[in-house]
Amino acid sequence: MKPILPGSTIGILGGGQLARMLALAAKPMGYNVIVLDPDPDCPASSVVDEVIIGAFNDPNAYAQLAQVCDVVTLEFENVATEYLEVLAKSVPLRPSQHILAKTRDRLLEKDFINKTGVRVAPYQAIEKLEDLAAARFPGILKTATLGYDGKGQAKVYSKVEAEKAFLRFGSVPCVLEGIVDFFLEISVIVARSGLGVQCFPIFENQHKDGILDLTIVPARISETTAKQAQDAAVKIAKALELRGLLCVEMFVMSGGQIVVNELAPRPHNSGHITIEACQTSQFEQAIRAVCNLPFGSTELYSSGAMANLLGDHWEKGTPNWKKALESGVKLHLYGKKEPRAARKMGHLTALGDDALEIVKRAREVL
Ligand code: AMP
């Protein structure tokens, strides 16, 4: 595989915050960046060379993108496979449409991980109401596709509750998962290209209402568990024949065993801390991976923490940035104009042993 050298043009499907941070990594390396997004004011719009304005089901938009790009990557995986198949005929798509077809469907994804020998939570396909007859409760009912940040998910304690949730989701195909009694949650971000494979240090994640709230790096787990987690991520990346970045979200059990929750074949919210904490950020590594350039070191400069800023922090008006920044945190805002509840608007990071306390306190004074 030939390298795609600086001066070339990278296309990104989606113009949200991940595309914005990918562009902020690609531009200093000399790449041109073009995103496809329906919103001309999308978060990436102010930092990219061009926004191709189009819906994700508009074949003309994909044709335009293919014409001007040397490689295309993405910031979200919920694009229908039929469009990706066509796109991949004219321009390299990394990660490939075959990977995306698996990771956009929880059921296919779990079947795939199972086949690699890596453990996932017990699960059952629920395609129609009758499938709930033999189900075990309690569990978490999740729509097989289009769910994110806790959306399309319901904890269900009985068949009646599961039926209600299934109908509320519109009777679409679902997965019923057993509830994992985990000790903590981690994620492993792994990059793979024609030149090899490389993991980031492990991130420890705390969620609130199904949305990532805080990340700590390195995760407070034993070396044995860390090795097991990285081995599992590499195994999955290789089995997928990944070209690009993959985040593997995992549960850690009290005995240290790991259980995979889900995959995201793109930069991940838990990896935002790499911008400050690692020698190479997840965004730069993603660019290197899709362009088949040698990887940068993922070594930590320092331990660190990240706190997400959701639209809820705007409830009482514009947050007090001055006060928050007095504590030495770094501020990242995504340029979203409308601060809706539960919408990811930005994040704060800090380095050092007290990083978690620092980002939490800074967020409180907002
Ligand atoms: P997901 O969208 O699947 O990543 O789920 C969001 C969050 O819900 C996870 O990070 C966990 O905190 C929780 N969760 C999801 N699935 C399970 C499960 N099977 N058992 C326990 N907690 C879960």
* pLDDT of res. 146: 85
CB atoms closer than 10 angstroms to residue 279 = 12
Residues 22, 159 share a domain: no
Number of folded domains that form the chain: 3
Residues 274, 159 share a domain: no
How far is CA 162 from each of CA 25, 59, 111, 159, rounded to the nearest angstrom?
A: 44, 38, 22, 5
Measure the CA angle with vertex 90, ends 87 and 92; round to 5°. 80
One DSSP character per residue, 69-92 reads: -SEEEES---S-HHHHHHHHHHS-
* pLDDT of res. 75: 97
Q: How many angstroms from the chain centroid is the CA of residue 148?
A: 10
Question: Please, what's the b/e burial string for 40-50 (b: 16 or more CB within 10 A of its CB; e: otherwise)?
Answer: eebbbbebbeb
Measure the CA angle with vertex 105, ends 273 and 144; round to 5°. 105
Residue 77 corresponds to which amino acid? Answer: E
Distance (angstroms) between ligand 1 centre and the Cα of 269 equals 15
Cis peptide before 138 (omega within 30 of 0): yes
Distance (angstroms) between ligand 1 centre and the Cα of 10 equals 33
Distance (angstroms) between ligand 1 centre and the Cα of 321 equals 32
| Cα separation, 79 vs 85, whole angstroms | 11
* pLDDT of res. 166: 96
Nearest-CA residue for atom 9 of ligand 1? 210
Nearest-CA residue for atom 11 of ligand 1? 210
> Which residues have CB under 8 Å from 218's CB, separation 6+?
201, 202, 203, 204, 226, 300, 303
Residues 141, 58 share a domain: no
Residue 172 belongs to a domain: yes
| Cα separation, 139 vs 131, whole angstroms | 14
* pLDDT of res. 80: 86
Distance (angstroms) between ligand 1 centre and the Cα of 11 equals 31
Residues 272, 191 share a domain: yes
Residue 110 belongs to a domain: no
Which atom belonging to ligand 1 lies closest to the Cα atom of 121? 19
* pLDDT of res. 69: 98
Residue 109 belongs to a domain: no
Residue 284 belongs to a domain: yes
154 in contact with ligand 1, CB cutoff 6 A? no
State the Rg of the chain over Cα.
20
| Cα separation, 259 vs 251, whole angstroms | 5
263 in contact with ligand 1, CB cutoff 6 A? no
Number of H helices, E strands in the chain: 11, 17
121: nearest Cα among 106, 101, 143: 106
pLDDT, tens digit only, all 366 positions of the chain:
799 999 999 999 999 999 999 999 999 999 999 999 999 999 999 999 999 999 999 999 999 999 999 999 999 988 888 999 999 999 999 999 999 999 999 999 999 999 999 999 999 999 999 999 989 999 999 999 987 767 789 999 999 999 999 999 999 999 999 999 999 999 999 999 999 999 999 999 999 998 999 999 999 999 999 999 999 999 999 999 999 999 999 999 999 999 999 999 999 999 999 999 999 999 999 999 999 999 999 999 999 999 999 999 999 899 999 999 999 999 999 999 999 999 999 999 999 999 999 999 999 999
Residues 256, 161 share a domain: no
For residue 265, the SS3 value is: coil
Q: Are 295 and 280 in contact (CB under 8 A)?
A: yes
Which of 178, 197, 214 is the C-terminal boundary of a domain? 178
For residue 352, the SS3 value is: coil
Residues 354, 250 share a domain: yes
Residue 66 belongs to a domain: yes
Distance (angstroms) between ligand 1 centre and the Cα of 261 equals 7
Instruction: Report the Cα–Cα distance between both ends of the chain, in Å, rounded.
Output: 48
Residues 303, 214 share a domain: yes
Distance (angstroms) between ligand 1 centre and the Cα of 44 equals 29
Pocket test for ligand 1, best of 77, 78, 140, 183 (most atoms within 8 A of CB): 140
* pLDDT of res. 77: 85
* pLDDT of res. 1: 79
Has this prediction a pTM greater than 0.95? Answer: yes
Residues 130, 82 share a domain: no
Residues 42, 129 share a domain: no
| Cα separation, 244 vs 231, whole angstroms | 17
Nearest-CA residue for atom 1 of ligand 1? 150
Residue 103 belongs to a domain: no
Residue 168 belongs to a domain: yes
190: nearest Cα among 71, 270, 310, 88: 270
204 in contact with ligand 1, CB cutoff 6 A? no
Nearest-CA residue for atom 8 of ligand 1? 210
**Domain hosting residue 301, numbered range:** 182-365
Pocket test for ligand 1, best of 259, 261, 308 (most atoms within 8 A of CB): 261
Report the interhelical angle of 81-90 vs 59-68 (nearest 10°): 30
180 in contact with ligand 1, CB cutoff 6 A? yes
Residues 320, 200 share a domain: yes
Task: Please write the tens of the pLDDT for every residue from 131-154.
Answer: 999 899 999 999 999 877 677 899
Residue 100 belongs to a domain: no
* pLDDT of res. 83: 94
150 in contact with ligand 1, CB cutoff 6 A? yes
361 in contact with ligand 1, CB cutoff 6 A? no
Which atom belonging to ligand 1 lies closest to the Cα atom of 181? 21
Residues 256, 152 share a domain: no
Q: What CATH number is given to the structural domain containing 165? A: 3.30.1490.20
Looking at 145-295, which runs of residues are DSSP E strands?
153-156, 174-178, 184-193, 196-199, 203-208, 211-217, 244-252, 258-264
Distance (angstroms) between ligand 1 centre and the Cα of 180 equals 8
249 in contact with ligand 1, CB cutoff 6 A? yes
